[in-house]
Amino acid sequence: MSEQMVSRQAEVESVLRLAPVVAVVVLQRVEDAVPLARALVAGGIPAVEITLRTPVALEAIRAVANEVEGVAVGAGTVLNARDFHAAARAGARFAVSPGHSPALLDAAEDSELPYLPGASTASEAMTLAERGYRWQKFFPAVPAGGVDFVRALASPLPGIGFCATGGISAQTAKQWLALPNVVAVGGSWLTPSDLVAAGNWTAIAALAGEAARLVSPG
């Protein structure tokens, strides 16, 4: 494994270990980005994945990267080389994808951006590990097999750590975080659309505070 890959994977690990939950955010208005990120950080959730699912996502990443102290903002739903380059230019600290492809892995190697690729099977996890990806996103976590499936991967694939994302809630997060191969979970429950639309940053900070108190042994 190259020194560059080792360094990038270490950066991914450092982001995942900032808190038990990585906030997964879909933004419709760029003006919500900064106060939302500040509320999450205030509550104890500094790792924020802004998904590239809306037209304002890149501008939102740029605003958060420039204006919010103490945040590690990343780009989610990265699907191609163009997304990698745009996210890096916007100031993202990491990139996340729901799965992976040969072209996407090649794009990641050409980018300076630390990358958390997605996997949902043992074979996919092994393929990523062969390319040097010690840290992976298990997605969609609940539909792809749930807690029991990921627990079963721990013994045969001891070198892989997951950020489990997809279908996890405040009520089920602890079950995932108790697994030896799950270092963090991705959570969209921290930023419900109604609270974001209402600008209720106090309520979002409270949700972040509850999430930050979840303890991961990983």
Please name the residue ranges forming H helices in the chain: 3-16, 33-43, 57-67, 81-90, 102-110, 122-130, 146-154, 173-177, 193-198, 201-212
Average pLDDT over residues 124-144: 97
pLDDT of 116 strictly over 70: yes
Selected catalytic residue, list 49, 69, 174, 210: 49
CA dihedral 148, 191, 20, 53 (to 10 degrees): 70
In the CATH hierarchy, which top-level class contains the domain 3-212?
alpha beta
Could you tell me the two tokens for 212? 């930050």
- For residues 95 and 147, give the distance between their C-alpha atoms in angstroms, rounded to a whole number: 24
pLDDT of 15 strictly over 80: yes
pLDDT of 16 strictly over 80: yes
| Distances, alpha carbon 41 to alpha carbons 110, 171, 217, in Å | 31, 21, 22
Average pLDDT over residues 175-184: 98
Catalytic status, residue 137: yes
16 versus 217: the higher-pLDDT residue is 16
Which stretch of DSSP H or E encloses residue 47?
strand 47-51
**Residue 66: pLDDT band by 50, 70, 90 thresholds?**
very high
Q: Is the dihedral of CA 85, 90, 96, 98 positive or negative?
A: negative
Q: Where do we find the tokens 């560059």? A: 4
Catalytic status, residue 174: no
Selected catalytic residue, list 124, 137, 174, 210: 137
- For residues 17 and 21, give the distance between their C-alpha atoms in angstroms, rounded to a whole number: 9
Mean model confidence pLDDT for the chain: 96
